[in-house]
Amino acid sequence: MDTKKLLEESDKYLMHTYGRYPIVLRKGRGMKVWGSDGKEYLDFVGGIAVNCLGHCHPKVVIAIQKQVQRLIHVSNYYHIEPQIRLAKMLVENSFADKVFFCNSGAEANEAAIKLARRYCREVLGQDRYEIITARNSFHGRTYAALSATGQEKFHKGFEPLVPGFRHVDFNDIEALSGAISKETCAILLEPIQGEGGVRLPDPDYLREVRRLCDEHHILLILDEVQTGIGRTGRLFAYEHFDMSPDIMTLAKGLGGGMPIGAMLATDKVSAGFQPGSHASTFGGNPLVCAAAATTLDVILEDGFVLDQCRRMGTLLAKRLSELQDEFPNIIAEIRAMGLLVGMELTRDGAPAVKACMERGVLINCTSGNVLRFMPALIVTEKEIDHLVEILEQVFDTLS
Ligand SMILES: *Cc1c(COP(=O)(O)O)cnc(C)c1O
């Protein structure tokens, strides 16, 4: 089918929940994707931090091919081999002792919120339910995750929200401390606010949050849906901050492109769930777990991927800073950790995204004026140079 017809039928048959660009992506390899008209793009969106090994990584493709022939789905009433393998890898490489699998970031946060409340009631025997989250945060679109999200634009028209959430400014330890009450059961934070515009915490903020949680016997939940799986140059972002949470949520990069979410916790907190407490039909299905386990294998194999992520992240941030020197009227700030990179503009970012796309480079804009770059963790210097060259051309036309 030709592109024009596809765009017409997309508009006709799909619910209009996305503001989509007028291209149809049909094929991908590594950092490249191709449109239905044959046009090639360099992909710095990466499925929004999903395609951590690029498109169709050969080892992930083979793992999926092998598993799809062996077993696609069985119920969680039975033990599942790839699920066990993946859980073991996550536990051995994190603070956590136990894993629950689901299908998305929002679902992982739902599970975390349910576990936190349940732990307080069933294990501690205390009727605490309130969860403090940050303004400008993003935790997903299902009702509890949406209620946790600290941005009114996502709430609008969907009220009443789930009760029991309280929002305070990110990076403000005094505000957080002041919001704690005898009702508080947990604090839920992204280590770096992704959708909120790549906002980094002060170096000691998360450690102080940890201390506050310990002092008040409150659980700390980190939403690493965007920052996890190597994105920041460590397997999990909390590793940069000399602390660890009680519960952590993952999704996006975990499946190397396959839809999977996970909620990890310590043994102590996991005791809040017993058989029947929580479940997911598809959660941890053999096919997605085989893909995720292989993705993690490749990332952890010999340290190359994380090392490349750190080196290329540093390089990209440096090149973007040089662009900032060249276009101080357009670029306000560069914020980066590993390959989660934000470039705040002094103006709306949409025209730059469109102009880059026309020149064959896909980038994302979040929070209205923050260009966000989330390439594969194995992006090369040549690809970064190309992006920067295109951005330079684009800013030239915009200035
Ligand atoms: C994307 C994202 C989510 C939601 O994930 P979905 O898979 O879209 O439900 C939650 N939290 C953070 C930090 C995210 O970046």
Per the structure, the count of domains in the chain is: 2
Domain boundary, last residue among 300, 316, 334: 300
* One domain for residues 117 and 243: yes
Counting from 1 in the atom list of ligand 1, the atom nearest the Cα of 109 is: 10
pLDDT attached to residue 399 = 82
pLDDT attached to residue 72 = 98
* One domain for residues 376 and 390: yes
Q: What's the CA gap between 57 and 50, in Å, rounded?
A: 13
Q: What's the CA gap between 316 and 159, in Å, rounded?
A: 41
Supply the pTM of this predicted model.
0.98
* One domain for residues 15 and 75: no
Domain boundary, last residue among 252, 270, 300: 300
CATH classification at residue 80: 3.40.640.10
* One domain for residues 227 and 320: no
Residues noted as catalytic? 138, 223, 252
Low-confidence ranges of the chain (pLDDT < 70): none
* One domain for residues 385 and 245: no
Q: Give residues (CB < 6 A) around ligand 1.
A: 104-106, 109, 138-140, 190, 194-195, 223, 225-226, 251-252
* One domain for residues 62 and 96: yes
| Owning domain of residue 37 | 3-57+303-398
Q: What's the CA gap between 45 and 31, in Å, rounded?
A: 10
* One domain for residues 146 and 256: yes
Q: What's the CA gap between 1 and 8, in Å, rounded?
A: 11
* One domain for residues 326 and 276: no
* One domain for residues 51 and 171: no
Q: Which of 142, 192, 195 to mutate to test the pocket of ligand 1 (most atoms within 8 A of CB)?
A: 195
Residue 71: closest CA among 83, 60, 61, 59: 83
Q: What's the CA gap between 40 and 396, in Å, rounded?
A: 23
- What is the distance in A from the centroid of ligand 1 to the CA of 328? 32
Q: What's the CA gap between 224 and 250, in Å, rounded?
A: 5
Alpha-carbon torsion, ordered 80, 82, 85, 90, to 10 deg: -100
Domain boundary, last residue among 300, 321, 353: 300
pLDDT digits (tens, 9 = 90+) for 199-213: 999 999 999 999 999
Which residues partner with 331 through β-bridges?
A: 345
pLDDT attached to residue 1 = 83
* One domain for residues 253 and 383: no
CATH classification at residue 8: 3.90.1150.10
* One domain for residues 38 and 172: no
3-state secondary structure of 26: strand
- What is the distance in A from the centroid of ligand 1 to the CA of 371? 18
* One domain for residues 21 and 105: no
Residue minimizing CA distance to atom 11 of ligand 1: 139
